[in-house]
Amino acid sequence: MRILLTGAGGQLGGDLITALLAQGHEVIATDLRPAAAGQNGRTRWDALDVTRGDDVLTCVERIAPDRVYHLAAILSARGEQQPQLAYAVNQTGTWNVLEACRQARVPQLVFTSSIAVYGPGLPDPTPEDVALHPTTIYGATKAAGEMLCDYYCHRWGLDARGVRFPGLINAAVPGGGSSDYALFMYLDGLRRGAYDAFCRADTRIPLMYMPDAVRALIELPAAPRQHLGRSVYNIAAFSPRADEIAASVARALPGVQFTFTPDPARQAILDSWPRALDDARARADWGWRHEFDLEAMTADLLPQMRTLLGAGVDLAGH
């Protein structure tokens, strides 16, 4: 299958490309940024700005992919600093990608949504079909993107599907998310022996280890459409308090120091998100199961990060 990725230089791209190549797919990665060091030579890498509709259409028509993964997005914390940019990338960019898929008759689009579509005061755990009152431009544009996917499904027959991701953790430097404190506990715990988290110790949001996230992005598009009762699904793994993540890292890295100095802007975003997601629909419709809990993630991730840091790999570009 020929597969096109937008925003391939972000936190998800590297691991998704690896998994798709391992399955024998032809992958064309696109991003504003040039290819990251680890990506060179592994796959074709084109420059693409999703805010430019003509460029998106030309690219999609030229490549004629069987499936598009639309990953390009400005995340929650950065989006609040640059709302116009977030609107352009997340809203206009998603529209451009959907339109290009429609015009170029791409069979399938996979959309990456987020827990940020939710706002405060929701049931715990939170199912999909509750009123969405996102507090960030990122969440508002992701919610609109989900609705556009539904619209393109029923109006134009585009097989658009997606997941609402929890905060994701892997051996990469994330870019501008509010959930980044969790990843930095591992990264700075390892490289600095300490981390001052920008959230309260009792902060609890849904999180997921990247191998599970990548597996979801491969299993959902493979599911027979007639089994799917909706276009976009919650998927969940674990929901630890921030100090429980710190304790898990500290068990593996004795002596590491964690402190908590909440940043009001990012803390308010974190407090507006669900504490846990109800993913019963994904489990029932396409057999979704997470494999990694917090302890399994800690055991798998720290050795990987240590190896990459020891080899001098720039995790920002991994």
Q: Which residues are catalytic?
A: 138
- Choose the stretch contacting ligand AKB; rule: CB under 6 A; options: 59-67, 110-118, 246-254, 305-313: 110-118
Site string for ligand AKB, 121-160 (x = CB under 6 A): -----------------x----------------------
Q: Rounded to an integer, what is the distance from CA 17 to the centroid of its chain?
A: 14
Q: What track of x and - describes contact with ligand AKB for positions 22 through 61 (by CB under 6 A)?
A: ----------------------------------------
Can residue 116 be called a binding residue for ligand AKB (CB under 6 A)?
A: yes
Of 93, 119, 177, 211, which one interacts with ligand AKB (CB under 6 A)? 177
**Which one of 41-49, 112-120, 286-294, 305-313 is the stretch in contact with ligand AKB (CB under 6 A)?**
112-120
Exposure of 222 in the CB half-sphere (CA atoms within 13 A): 11
The closest of 143, 45, 47, 30 to 94, measured between CA atoms, is: 143
Number of residues forming the site for ligand AKB (CB under 6 A): 11
Strand partners, 28: 4, 44
| Residue 86 tokens, joined | 């977030």
- Cβ of residue 18: shortest distance to ligand AKB, in angstroms? 20
Nearest to 245 by CA among 181, 175, 289: 181
Return d(Cα 56, Cα 288) in angstroms, integer: 31
Q: How far is the CB of 11 from ligand AKB (least distance, A)?
A: 8
**178 in contact with ligand AKB (CB under 6 A):** yes
Kindly give, in sequence order, each residue whose CB lies less than 8 Å from that of residue 152, ignoring residues fewer than 6 positions away. 98, 101, 102, 109, 158, 160
167: contact with ligand AKB by CB under 6 A: yes
* Contact status, residue 242 vs residue 199, Cβ threshold 8 Å: yes
Chain residues binding ligand AKB by CB under 6 A are: 75-76, 114-116, 138, 165, 167, 177-179
